[in-house]
Amino acid sequence: MNVLKRYLQSFLFFELLKGLSVTGRHLFARKITVQYPEERAPQSPRFRGLHALRRYPNGEERCIACKLCEAVCPALAITIESEERADGTRRTTRYDIDLFKCVYCGFCEESCPVDSIVETRFYEFHFENRGEHIITKPELLAVGDKFEKQIAADRAADARYR
Amino acid sequence: MSAKPDMSTTQPPDADMVTIEVNGEPLRAKKGSMVIQVTDAAGIYVPRFCYHHKLPIAANCRMCLVEIEKAPKPMPACATPVADGMKVFTRSALAHDAQRGVMEFLLINHPLDCPICDQGGECPLQDLALGYGKDVSRYAEKKRVVHDKNIGPLIATEMTRCIHCTRCVRFGQQLAGIMELGATGRGEHTEIGTFIERSVDSELSGNVIDICPVGALTSKPFRFTARAWELTSHPSISPHDCVGSNLNVESRRHKVMRVLPRDNEAINECWLSDRDRFSYTALNSSDRLQSPMIRDGGRWQEVDWSTALEFTVAGLRRVIDQHGSNQIGALAAPASTLEELYLLQKLLRSLGSSNVDHRLRQSDFRDDQALPPFPWLGQSIEDLESCQSVLLVGSNIRKEQPLLGLRLRHAGRKGAQIMAINPVDYDLAAPLAHKIIASPADMILGLAGVASALAARGKATRDRLPDWLSKRVPTASEQAIAQVLATRKPAAVLLGNLAASHPQAATLRALADLVAELAGAALGVLSEANGAGAWLAGCVPHREAAGKAANAGRNAYSMIREPLQAYVLLGVEPELDCLEGGRARSAMEAAEFVIMMTPFSPASAPTAAMQYAHVLLPLAPFTETDGTFVNCEGRWQSFTAAVRPLGETRPGWKILRILGSRLGQPGFDYSTIDEVRAEIDARTLTPSSNLGERLLPPELRVDTNTLQRIYEVPLYRIDSVVRRAEALQQTADNPKPAARMSAVQAASLNVNDGARVRVRVAHGEVVLDVAIDTRVPDQCVLIPSGYPETISLDAHGAVSLEKAEKA
């Protein structure tokens, strides 16, 4: 009996149709593929992407070289050198993040007393040459300048939970 | 006190001891000690800000409040003397509540700027706030703001952070000897500051940075450059004076970031002089020589070590072949390590020359053979504090060996009588019981007077005293000094750096030795830097390592006065480090071959080395080499490199090792520095400061009628490292070089303060500003050495001054 059943099923392409029915179902179901880069997956305001150094509205850099981020960084990705600037304030002369070492844990952002180092929503970056993975202070500030509006909005959205 | 250590009940309780109970634990304590001292000794922590074990008690921070049974309120542990049967609770609810309350008060006005505060991470207030502070402040009013003061190039202030513990004030009053900082105003208006707008100029001022429990006083050269947690601490020894202070060199990424004291009760306690603390700034300067250089055909070029060594060996060989090995001389900086000095003399002696010396600032070597194996303090540094009378001869101890000055100040506070025979009335910060301020020539007469006054007291001596000495009628102050020395024991006679560079140093040493013998006092000799190590290493022309006699070669002075054909300079900048800079330069210029081992490029210094040197070998300073320093009490202190040598710099012992090998000399195949050290087997030598034979000239010729130069090397000009420490150069201890003289002397020349005079000596003449200085005796002019303006002048001899045109 079983032999006959199997013979009929294979003769009538039953397995093929059964398999195709999944395809057919999905053909008409709602599409979930995100058409990157035309489409983007939604992001949380807490998304941890590329780092940025922020400025105050008057253009003054926020970072005061307290080095808490350097101390808290579990991957030792941050290197800071500091000095007294001509106006007597404490500033960094060097602020490097090694993006190969960074694990994007967000501790630096959390430890920062002046909301200077932040992780932006930007994650689409690549390196073409050796050495580019270490991003420097001017680059970080430029990232901050570029995304400041979004960064500020995200901090505001998250403020009540902090 | 009972010798038995146990506290068994069968022994009658010691009259000096009481038993108290702390947190239920019985503790023995000395009568009159404070509760906090007992708890500290027992390892029970009581929070504190104003209490410091080396400072007098103030009890004004109230952080150490503890509960004491039967006391109605919490009592400050730092100011409550123990009593028998006292029960103390340091962590009871009452004590803890009191401590938390005090912390809340302290934090009311303390700014919340820990992220930009240099003390952050090593701040007692920050640490204790974690344990005793609240997480939210109840205080909503405006915080107090205090204006910052500029108190000099070494200490940065942020007075808003001050919690008025007054540690800095007490340090100045009790230890530095001058109350430079004080508290003005009361209550919330209290401010710490200099009373009038001025800088803090003590040679120990940097210590207030360490004792400040908050970030109100921080280090200016270190300001904002690093955090305590990212620094690695390396134990090291100071190379700048003969104290051998213990330091911690703190580095980050192979760069020295700061220097802190390391506790050693026998040497520097917990203090450090500014010179030791801030000299590191020179090590990171752009003046460092980073690769070997040779001058071939008049042009300097950077080369690799191999080429430089070949060039050096060829140069030395040429000089030996043409002029003989005794035409080679070596001059070593006294701040070099024991091993470097040993290998230098070994190299020279193996080449057949005994011309090796480190005593660059001395001119009188007549008593070389009679001198003890190494310059010794005559006692331990700690013993200095218990002296009852001290006679300083030619010593500005406070600036030359600041921490020995501190010990003397302690002695003075305990009742010792400090006396001085000096060419300048230095402020020694301990009141001088008696003093003789005389020209260099008259100093000899002064000391002779003391000796003759002591001899008149009937004490016999092995020497037959020459007539000029035994017949000298002592003056009143000479009598008084003799009286004090003879009656107040223990007594000490200390010969300072000015005595060593005195034109008749041997006579002065003989007299000091005589005085010490007659008075039954210890004779101490304060050498420069690692001078004791240099003697033990054999870096003197007439002695090999460990004091063995050698075929005497030429001493430093004669090497300069009668130039040689080749010089090996170990860390020396001849014009600035030698007694007679002008002559040193001529000697170097006349030489056929000059090898300079130096941490710094001479192009940055006021020397002509770029014209006369032939090879520059980058030498590692003390932070970058292993080595040993021997201090004035004969204590050997070895240390290891704190950071790796900068660029192509190499440790001195390695440079000398390879030079020895390349010159084909046997015995230079060391693999570690320990092997070098083991060869200098001098630990069995008994230290002594007494002369074998006193060189008292039968006739004393002192010229007291002509104008004399007083030669001194200011404390921040002594070696190539401190001369480049920018912060130290800006201090008040480093004024612009001038011809300093008394008002009487200036009047006789018809010049005023600020006028220009032309100074002429036997060799060299310069034009200097006149500064009226009440410390200088008449018939003298004090001209500091070690400055570009004065290097060309001879140190001793007659001076003529004449008015010059205003520049």
Where residue B319 sits, what CATH number does that domain have? 3.40.50.740
Mutate to test the interface with A, among B227, B231, B254, B257 (most CBs of A within 10 A): B227
Q: Let me know: does B605 contact B791? Beta carbons within 8 Å.
A: no
User: pTM of this prediction?
Assistant: 0.91
Read off the amino acid at residue B403: L
Average pLDDT by consecutive 10-residue portion of chain B (807 residues)?
A: 43 77 93 94 94 93 94 94 94 94 93 93 94 89 90 93 94 86 88 84 92 95 94 95 95 94 94 95 92 90 95 95 94 95 95 94 92 93 94 94 94 93 90 92 92 85 81 92 93 95 93 92 93 94 89 92 95 92 93 95 86 95 95 94 95 96 93 93 80 83 81 92 93 91 91 90 89 92 91 87 79
- Contacting residues of A for B114, CB less than 8 Å apart: 66
Looking at residue B453, which CATH number applies to its domain?
3.40.228.10
Q: Let me know: does B117 contact B227? Beta carbons within 8 Å.
A: no
Q: Let me know: does B250 contact B636? Beta carbons within 8 Å.
A: no
B482 with B624, same domain: the answer is no
Say whether B227 and A71 touch across the interface (CB within 8 A): yes
3-state secondary structure (DSSP) of residue B572:
coil
C-alpha to C-alpha distance for B642 and B626, rounded to whole angstroms:
9
Burial of B245 (0-12, 13-18, 19+ CB in 10 A): buried
Which residue, chain included where needed, has tokens 């060391």? B670
Residue of A nearest to B220 (CA): A84
pLDDT of residue B807: 58
Size of interface A-B (CB pairs under 8 A): 29
Spell out which chain A residues touch chain B, with contact meaning CB-CB distance below 8 angstroms.
64-68, 70-71, 81-84, 89-91, 113-114
- Contacting residues of B for A113, CB less than 8 Å apart: 115
B191 with B119, same domain: the answer is yes
- Contacting residues of B for A83, CB less than 8 Å apart: 224-225
Residue B690 in any domain: the answer is: no
Which residue blocks in B237-323 are alpha helix, DSSP H?
Answer: 274-278, 305-323
pLDDT of residue B468: 86
Chain A contact for B115, CB < 8 A? yes
Say whether B115 and A68 touch across the interface (CB within 8 A): yes
Say whether B115 and A113 touch across the interface (CB within 8 A): yes
For residue A140, give how far its alpha carbon lies from the nearest alpha carbon of chain B (Å): 21
DSSP state of B175: I
- Contacting residues of A for B230, CB less than 8 Å apart: 67, 70-71
- Contacting residues of A for B227, CB less than 8 Å apart: 67, 71
- Contacting residues of B for A65, CB less than 8 Å apart: 116, 224
Q: Let me know: does B284 contact B307? Beta carbons within 8 Å.
A: no
Residue of B nearest to A113 (CA): B115
Residue B695 in any domain: the answer is: no
C-alpha to C-alpha distance for B472 and B445, rounded to whole angstroms:
8
Which of the listed residues B89, B108, B127 is the one where a domain comes to its end? Answer: B108
B60 with B151, same domain: the answer is no
For residue B115, give how far its alpha carbon lies from the nearest alpha carbon of chain A (Å): 5
Residue B341 in any domain: the answer is: yes
3-state secondary structure (DSSP) of residue B385:
coil
For residue A89, give how far its alpha carbon lies from the nearest alpha carbon of chain B (Å): 9
For residue A71, give how far its alpha carbon lies from the nearest alpha carbon of chain B (Å): 8
Largest CA distance in chain B: 92
Residue of B nearest to A80 (CA): B226
DSSP state of A113: T
Residue B620 in any domain: the answer is: yes
SS3 content of chain B, % helix, strand, coil (to 5): 30, 20, 45
**Which sign does the torsion angle of CA B275, B281, B284, B287 carry?**
negative
Residue B726 in any domain: the answer is: yes
Shortest CB distance from A64 goes to which of B115, B227, B229? B115
Chain A contact for B223, CB < 8 A? yes
Q: B197: closest CA among B147, B160, B158?
A: B147
pLDDT of residue B803: 87
pLDDT of residue B8: 44
B655 with B716, same domain: the answer is no
> What Cα–Cα distance (Å) separates residue B12 from each residue in B7, B26, B32, B38, B86?
9, 17, 19, 21, 19
B142 with B245, same domain: the answer is yes
B272 with B125, same domain: the answer is yes
Which of the listed residues B63, B93, B108 is the one where a domain comes to its end? Answer: B108
B173 with B257, same domain: the answer is yes
For residue B50, give how far its alpha carbon lies from the nearest alpha carbon of chain A (Å): 27
Number of other CB atoms surrounding residue A13 within 10 Å: 11
DSSP state of B114: G
When the pLDDT of each residue in chain A is averaged and rounded to a whole number, the result is 93
For residue B760, the surrounding DSSP H or E stretch is strand B756-760
Q: Let me know: does B301 contact B290? Beta carbons within 8 Å.
A: no
B123 with B262, same domain: the answer is yes
Shortest CB distance from B230 goes to which of A67, A113, A114? A67
Q: B715: closest CA among B496, B419, B440?
A: B496
B518 with B562, same domain: the answer is no
Say whether A82 and B115 touch across the interface (CB within 8 A): no
Shortest CB distance from B229 goes to which of A65, A71, A90? A71
- Main-chain phi, psi angles of B11, to 5 degrees: -75, 140
Residue B697 in any domain: the answer is: no
Chain A contact for B120, CB < 8 A? yes
For residue A135, give how far its alpha carbon lies from the nearest alpha carbon of chain B (Å): 20
Q: Let me know: does B557 contact B534? Beta carbons within 8 Å.
A: no
Altogether, the residues listed in chain A come to a count of: 162
CA B47 to chain centroid? 34
Angle between helices A2-11 and A14-28 (to 10 degrees): 50
pLDDT tens profile B332-385: 999 999 999 999 999 999 999 999 999 999 999 999 999 999 999 999 999 999
C-alpha to C-alpha distance for B428 and B408, rounded to whole angstroms:
9
DSSP state of B174: I
Which residue, chain included where needed, has tokens 């803090």? B200
CA B287 to chain centroid? 24
Q: Let me know: does B742 contact B774? Beta carbons within 8 Å.
A: yes
Chain A contact for B225, CB < 8 A? yes
H and E: helices and strands count for chain A: 5, 5
Say whether B224 and A90 touch across the interface (CB within 8 A): yes
What is the domain range of residue B331? 293-365+530-678
Say whether A83 and B224 touch across the interface (CB within 8 A): yes
Read off the amino acid at residue B791: I
- Contacting residues of A for B281, CB less than 8 Å apart: none
Total structural domains in chain B?
Answer: 5
Say whether A84 and B223 touch across the interface (CB within 8 A): yes
B405 with B475, same domain: the answer is yes
Beta strands in B136-181 (DSSP E): 155-157
CA atoms within 13 A of residue B598's CA, in its CB half-sphere: 30
Looking at residue B192, which CATH number applies to its domain?
3.30.70.20
Which of the listed residues B108, B134, B159 is the one where a domain comes to its end? Answer: B108
Residue B23 in any domain: the answer is: yes
For residue B519, the surrounding DSSP H or E stretch is helix B505-519
B440 with B399, same domain: the answer is yes
B467 with B454, same domain: the answer is yes
pLDDT tens profile B551-561: 889 999 999 99
Looking at residue B783, which CATH number applies to its domain?
2.40.40.20
Residue B504 in any domain: the answer is: yes
Looking at residue B17, which CATH number applies to its domain?
3.10.20.740
Q: B422: closest CA among B714, B715, B777, B743?
A: B777
Mutate to test the interface with B, among A85, A90, A93 (most CBs of B within 10 A): A90
Q: For residue B301, what are the β-bridge partners?
A: B294
For residue A28, give how far its alpha carbon lies from the nearest alpha carbon of chain B (Å): 59
Say whether B224 and A114 touch across the interface (CB within 8 A): no
For residue A29, give how far its alpha carbon lies from the nearest alpha carbon of chain B (Å): 55
In this structure, what token pair is assigned to residue B424?
Answer: 């300048």
pLDDT of residue B4: 42
- Contacting residues of A for B225, CB less than 8 Å apart: 81-83
Q: Let me know: does B559 contact B324? Beta carbons within 8 Å.
A: no
For residue B118, give how far its alpha carbon lies from the nearest alpha carbon of chain A (Å): 9
